[in-house]
């Protein structure tokens, strides 16, 4: 089989933690999205072979199983949960593609769901009798001196690439401005039908924003958030029989890089899949690049030579928020809708803590 295909893609609104979606559990966040997704695709739960769910902040176990059962799907759908932090949402699609092309399944639902608001509290334990110590950022390397705070890593990236605070603020302002467009991929969840964080961000707001680390401020980094996003991936046979506008999954990969500068990791994987598919970045119709920090998006766009005009044309994570395990899937959902029925080629890419970069290439 040459390719798998995406035939439907949906996401929830993205709301900052403590906001409109904060009362919902993972399965409650995911169910309306999955219901709308299957309706768009014209399939029933009985036809689904597997559900792959990215989740980074939950309590472990198997969130995918909880999501499948909460959606009322057949008990035979086991659910596969993955955690590759920010990259997980795209990695879910990469795994779905592999399951389909290998012949294991004809239909796979893949994506991610995250509730930053409902994440469990975590504590480190010690062998010397010291009391447990709460922590927020998980460990990503075995070396404390090469395992930076993400905002500090973003500031180090800005310094290494000479990307000014003014450039980062300008990117954030543009992201909010672009997000004030219709978002056909959004499913109403808990009465919310839009991304409530999007606003008319101005330079005055950016100048007053609290400084987090160096040039990194509350205005040019994404806010922690809740959200869900999923796609239906099918075999070539199913895609041809359904008669729906489909996007071919041309390539997808994840590559590790320097853990101290995780924002640079997507450059290598973007270049790798463009080379693999013999795709000139100037021929791309759309690019969705994660904006956990404005400086990451700038570094990736410039480092991979992607035309600025095609990047995040309907806004990015700076304008909506960052539901960690779902963010990569949100990029793919938006890319699908950008490309739908156009015949064009598009890219989605994301950086992840620990120095990881994931990217996928779709053709509408």
DSSP class per residue in 254-308: EEE--TT-GGGHHHHHHHHHHHHTT--GGG-SEEEE--SBHHHHHHHHHHTT--G
77-81 long-range contacts, CB within 8 A, separation 24+: 77/45, 77/48, 77/49, 77/50, 77/51, 78/50, 79/50, 79/51, 79/52, 79/53, 80/50, 80/51, 80/52, 80/53, 81/52, 81/53, 81/54, 81/55
What letter would DSSP give residue 322?
A: B
pLDDT in tens, 125-178: 999 999 999 988 889 999 999 999 999 999 999 999 999 999 999 999 999 999
Which domains are present in the chain?
A: 4-118+185-194+220-363 (3.40.47.10)
Taking the C-alpha atoms of residue 298 and residue 300, their distance in angstroms, rounded to an integer, is 6
Which position among 86, 176, 206, 300 bears the catalytic label? 86
φ/ψ of residue 116, rounded to 5: -65, -35
Residues 6+ away with beta carbon under 8 Å from 278: none
Is the full-model pTM beyond 0.85? yes
Instruction: Look at residue 60 in the predicted model and tell me its pLDDT.
Output: 86
For the stretch 271-286, pLDDT in tens is: 999 999 999 999 999 9
Alpha-carbon distance 37 to 234, whole Å? 13
- Residue 240 pLDDT > 70: yes
Residue 86: active-site member: yes
Tokens of 203: 């330079």
Helix segments in 8-126, DSSP class H: 26-41, 63-70, 88-101
Q: Which one of the listed residues 3, 176, 300, 322 is annotated catalytic?
A: 322
The yes-or-no answer on residue 194 being catalytic is no
């Amino acid at each position: 089989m040459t390719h798998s295909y995406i035939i439907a893609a949906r996401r929830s609104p993205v709301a900052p933690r403590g906001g409109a979606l904060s009362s919902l559990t993972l399965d409650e966040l995911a169910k309306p999205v999955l219901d709308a997704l299957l309706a768009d695709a014209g399939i029933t739960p009985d036809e689904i072979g597997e559900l792959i769910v990215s989740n980074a902040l939950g309590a472990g176990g198997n969130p995918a199983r909880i999501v499948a059962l909460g959606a009322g799907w057949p008990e035979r759908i086991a659910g596969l949960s993955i955690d590759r932090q920010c990259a997980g949402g795209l990695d879910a699609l990469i795994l779905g593609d592999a399951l389909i092309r290998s012949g294991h399944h004809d239909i796979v639902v893949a994506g991610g769901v995250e509730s930053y608001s409902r994440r469990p509290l975590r504590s480190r334990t010690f062998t010397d009798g010291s009391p447990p110590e709460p922590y927020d950022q998980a460990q990503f390397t075995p070396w404390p001196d090469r395992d930076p705070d993400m905002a500090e890593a973003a500031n180090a990236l800005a310094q290494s690439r000479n990307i000014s605070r003014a450039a980062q603020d300008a990117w954030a302002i543009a992201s909010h401005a672009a997000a004030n467009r219709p978002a056909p991929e959004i499913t109403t969840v808990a009465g919310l039908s839009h991304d409530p964080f999007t606003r008319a961000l101005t330079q005055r707001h950016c100048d007053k924003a609290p400084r987090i680390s160096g040039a990194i401020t509350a205005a040019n980094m994404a806010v922690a958030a809740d959200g869900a996003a999923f796609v239906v991936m099918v075999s070539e046979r199913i895609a041809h029989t359904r008669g729906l506008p489909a996007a071919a999954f041309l390539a997808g990969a994840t590559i590790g890089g320097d853990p101290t500068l995780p924002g640079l990791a997507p450059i290598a994987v973007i270049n790798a899949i463009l080379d693999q598919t013999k795709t000139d970045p100037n021929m791309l119709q759309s690019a969705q690049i994660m904006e956990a920090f404005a400086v990451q998006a700038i570094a990736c766009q410039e480092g991979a030579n992607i035309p600025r005009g095609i990047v995040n044309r309907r806004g990015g994570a700076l304008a909506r928020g960052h539901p960690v395990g779902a963010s990569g899937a949100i990029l793919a959902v938006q890319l699908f809708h950008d490309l739908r029925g156009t015949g064009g080629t598009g890219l989605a890419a994301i950086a992840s803590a620990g120095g990881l970069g994931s990217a996928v290439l779709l053709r509408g």
